[in-house]
Amino acid sequence: MKNILLLVGSPRKEKSTSNSLGEYLLNEFKDEDFNTKKVFLHYKKQIKKQEILDNIDWADLIILSFPLYVDCLPADVIKNLEIIKDEYNSNQNKYFFAISNCGFPESHHNNTALKICKQFAIEMNWEWRGSLAVGMGAAINGSQLIEPKGMVKNIIQELDNVYDKLAHTDDLIKGSAAPSIPQWLYILMGNMGWRYQALKNGVWNELKDKPYKK
């Protein structure tokens, strides 16, 4: 295993928590002289489809990092997985690992989406290497993960653990982590954050509007 491909499944691309998590893991591979590439799965031009298929062909290990949308993978990620399933026909053995992050405090909200990723790997005849479920993704908010300290200490420690297993063992990985923040504080900060943004946008009083009520 020498070629590692990161697929980032967030429309927020470089600014996303999916990118932060995937990039940290990818850099660990890079530091140990693996070949690495990164591709964003939200794109407009049809030409990108072939680029993705070519990169899949190049890769030995594919890491998919995405945000949880409605208990599942974002639509554009599903579209790409459908394309890969329909159009990538090689029998080469590949390894597949998935990272899902959600805005909820509990990381287990990601479990159904990660099982869908496992099912994709099964249907591709790829080897499922496991997953990492991340809660409180909003606390990372797309920031670069550098050192295992502060509220991201748990996350970085778990990513280091994932890297070690992915790069040096055949173990099936079932990781989960969330920033070290009490649940009540995360919820309080989140609720204040939404209100602050609404205030800035001049819609404080409309936050709970019901535009579609008949």
Partner 1 sequence: MNALLFNGAKADDEYTNNIGKEIIDVGNKEGWEIDSIILRDKKIGPCRGCFNCWVKTPGQCIIKDGAQEVVQKIVNKDLLIYLTPITFGGYSYHLKKVLDRSIGIILPFFRKVKGEVHHKMRYTQYPYLLGVGIDYSDERNNAQLFEKLIERNSLNFEVDGFESMVIRPDTNKEDIQSELIVSFRNVGETV
Bridge-based pairing state of the strands 3-8 and 61-67: parallel
* Rounded distance between C-alpha atoms, residue 21 and residue 76, angstroms: 19
Asked if 117 touches partner 1 (CB under 8 A), the answer is: yes
Taken as a whole, the chain contains a residue count of 214
Could you say whether residue 45 binds partner 1 (CB under 8 A)? Answer: no
Q: Given the complex with partner 1, which of 49 and 109 has the nearer CB atom? A: 109
Binding mask 25-44 for partner 1 (x = CB under 8 A): -----------------x--
* Nearest to partner 1 of 83, 167 (CB atom): 83
Distance of closest approach, residue 47 Cβ to partner 1, in angstroms: 18
Query: How many C-beta atoms lie closer than 10 Å to residue 154's C-beta?
Result: 17
Q: From 26-34, 53-61, 73-81, 87-95, give the range in contact with partner 1 by CB under 8 A.
A: 73-81
Complete edge-to-edge strand list for the sheet that includes strand 61-67: 35-40, 3-8, 61-67, 95-101, 127-134, 173-177
Give which of 77, 133, 82, 75 is closest to 103, Cα–Cα: 133
| Binding residues vs partner 1 (CB under 8 A) | 10-12, 16, 42, 67, 69-76, 78-79, 81-82, 85, 104-106, 108-109, 112-113, 115-117, 119-120, 122-123, 183, 187, 190-191, 194, 197-198, 201, 203, 206-214
